[in-house]
């Protein structure tokens, strides 16, 4: 690799980035604040010998699997859905939420159940393991609309504060799993840049433990 040992980090744009950059700063890494609200996609972080690749969260595992990023930060939800060939190194204990089955309060089992979700792989596996046959409909956002307008009778989606459910008159029925952001690594980078990656993991682990 001809990058002078710079660690390329796939960072999820948006709300996870704010929490991730805060965690990195607490771990003693000098992350310039000027980029917090920037539209720049490649951010050099020379003080930490890193370069941030600002990615759409769902694409982070792809960048890491292909090795264009050595490591990345991604929610467990995306990691489960994308199922890429990467190492999961650390639970960063940020961006805490949960993956749930949600429906209207008066939901009753139907003969041909339909479930709308951004996570078709996760949802299909969940219902398959329960032995329930459901039609899974993939949507890309505003999933809560689906039961309100009759596209699906339930949804599988993320719940953080519960505000979206409350404002739309929906209720959680079951929780599939808890979600936090994870540090992931490319398999080759993990060997070639092991010292730098391990040092970062150690720093982050100490900071996460101190926060708990």
179 touches 97 (CB < 8 A): yes
Rounded distance between C-alpha atoms, residue 27 and residue 207, angstroms = 6
What the block records as the tokens of 169 is: 């008159």
Facing residues of 55 across strands? 12
Shortest Cβ 113–ligand PRP spacing (Å): 20
* 161: contact with ligand PRP by CB under 6 A: yes
State which residue, 12 or 61, has the beta carbon closest to ligand PRP.
12
Any idea what the Cα angle at residue 182 is, between residues 180 and 208, rounded to 5°?
80
Query: How far apart are the C-alpha atoms of 18 and 10, rounded to whole Å?
Result: 14
Angstrom distance (rounded) from CA 185 to CA 87: 5
Neighbours of 163 (CB within 10 A): 9
Nearest distance, CB of residue 163 and ligand PRP, angstroms: 4
C-beta of 98 vs 182, nearer to ligand PRP: 98
Nearer to ligand PRP, 81 or 157 (CB): 157
CA distance 112 to 109: 9
Residues in the chain: 212
| Helix, strand, or coil (residue 140) | coil
**Contacts with ligand PRP, 113-152, as mask; x by CB under 6 A:** ----------------------------xxxx--------
**Which range binds ligand PRP by CB under 6 A, 32-40, 45-53, 69-77, 160-168?**
160-168
Of 160, 174, 199, 202, the one binding ligand PRP by CB under 6 A: 160
For 67, phi and psi rounded to 5 degrees? 80, 10
- Selected from 133, 163, 209, 210, the binder of ligand PRP by CB under 6 A is 163
Among 69, 157, 182, 193, binds ligand PRP (CB under 6 A): 157
Q: Which of 26, 164, 168, 180 binds ligand PRP (CB under 6 A)?
A: 164
Would you count residue 159 as binding ligand PRP (CB under 6 A)? yes
Q: Which stretch binds ligand PRP (CB under 6 A): 70-78, 155-163, 181-189, 193-201?
A: 155-163
Nearest to 104 by CA among 145, 141, 142, 133: 145
Query: What mask, x for binding ligand PRP by CB under 6 A, covers residues 177 to 206?
Result: ------------------------------
The contact set with ligand PRP (CB under 6 A) reads 141-144, 157-164
């Amino acid at each position: 690799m001809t990058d002078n040992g710079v660690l390329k980090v796939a960072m999820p744009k948006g709300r996870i980035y704010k929490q991730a950059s805060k965690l990195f700063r607490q771990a003693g890494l000098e992350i310039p604040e000027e980029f917090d609200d920037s539209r720049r996609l490649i951010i050099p972080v020379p003080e930490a010998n890193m370069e941030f690749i600002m990615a759409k969260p769902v694409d982070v595992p792809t960048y890491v699997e292909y090795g264009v990023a050595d490591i990345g930060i991604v929610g467990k939800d995306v990691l489960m859905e994308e199922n890429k060939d990467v190492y999961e190194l650390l639970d960063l204990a940020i961006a805490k939420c949960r993956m749930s089955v949600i429906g209207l309060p008066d939901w009753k089992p139907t003969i041909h159940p339909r479930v709308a979700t951004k996570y078709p792989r996760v949802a299909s596996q969940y219902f398959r393991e329960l032995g329930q046959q459901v039609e899974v409909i993939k949507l890309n956002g505003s999933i809560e609309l689906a039961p309100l307008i009759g596209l699906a009778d339930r949804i599988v989606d993320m719940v953080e504060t519960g505000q979206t459910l409350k404002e739309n008159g929906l209720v959680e029925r079951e929780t599939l799993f808890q979600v936090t952001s994870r540090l992931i690594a490319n398999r080759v980078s993990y060997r070639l840049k092991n010292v730098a990656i391990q040092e970062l993991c150690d720093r982050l682990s100490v900071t996460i433990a101190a926060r708990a």
